[in-house]
Amino acid sequence: MTTPYDVLARITGNRREPEPAGERCEMCSEPIADAHQHVVNVAGRQLMCVCRGCYLLFTDGHAQLRYRAVPDRYLWFPDFALDRRTWEAMQIPVGLAFFFRNSALDRTVGFYPGPAGATESELDLDAWSAMSDAEPRVGLLADDVEALLVRVRDDAEANPAPECYLVPIDACYEFIGGLRTRWRGFDGGQDAREFIDVFFTRLAERSVEQRP
C-alpha cells in the first residue's frame, strides 16, 4: 500500500538540482559566462548578449543580416587628422565622444557622455565628412559594430593631439555606463575623470598601432 510518505519521498527524490543563476543567451537561452560576446540589432540599435554559437551566425560582415556580431578589434590611430576647430564644428559639447556608421540610417552618428549616459549629438555631417576625407583610417570601421572613440583633452597646449581609437561598439557602451555611475555634478567630478584616465590607459595597452 502506497502511503503519502512514499509519494512525497518519490517526488523529492526525483527533484532536479536548481540551475545556477546567471545570464543567458538572448537568442537561444543557453547559459553564458559573465565574459561573453554581443551582437547588434541593426534596426533597433540594441546590443544583445549571446552564446558563442549564436555569435558565429552573424560574423559575415558582407551579408545583409538583421543582426551583426561585434568583433574584438582594438586599433590606435596616432597623428589623427582632427584639430580643435574641426571638433567644435562637429558640435560635440565635451571632449569625449564615439562615432559609428549606422547602416539602417545610412549615416554616421555620434554620442558623448553625460549624467544620463550616452547622449546623441546633433552631428554636423559636413564637418564629419571633411574630417573623414582627410583621415582614411575612418574607413576601417565596420558599420554598426565598431566605433571611433575620441578624447580631446582640455589642456590642449600640453596634449595637442586627440586620442583616437577604433574599438568594438560594446566597449563604448560599457565605458559610458561605467562613467555614468561615477558622474557627479556638471563636469563629472574627480571620480569620473580618474575612471576616464584608467580606461584610456588600458585601451592604449591593448590596442594595435595603425598608421595612415
pLDDT tens figures, 105-142: 999 999 999 888 899 998 999 999 999 999 999 999 99
pLDDT at 19 over 60: no
On whether the CB atoms of residues 189 and 183 are closer than 8 A, the answer is: yes
Q: Give me the pLDDT at residue 156, please.
A: 54
How is the chain split into domains, by residue range?
17-70, 75-209
For the residues 3-22, what does the mean pLDDT come to? Answer: 47
- pLDDT of 7 reads 39
Q: Hey, what amino acid is at 201? A: T
65: confidence class by pLDDT, cuts 50, 70, 90: confident
Q: What is the pLDDT of residues 148-166, one digit of tens each?
A: 999 998 765 555 689 999 9
Summarised one tens digit per residue, pLDDT across range 166-183 is 999 999 999 999 999 999
Burial label, 122 (beta-carbon count in 10 A; 0-12, 13-18, 19+):
exposed
pTM, full prediction: 0.85
- Chain-centre distance for alpha carbon 193: 19
Residue 88 pLDDT > 80:
yes
Average pLDDT, the chain: 87
Q: Residue 194 pLDDT > 60, yes or no?
A: yes
- Of 5-14, 80-89, 151-160, the least confident: 5-14
Residue 74 predicted with pLDDT over 50:
yes
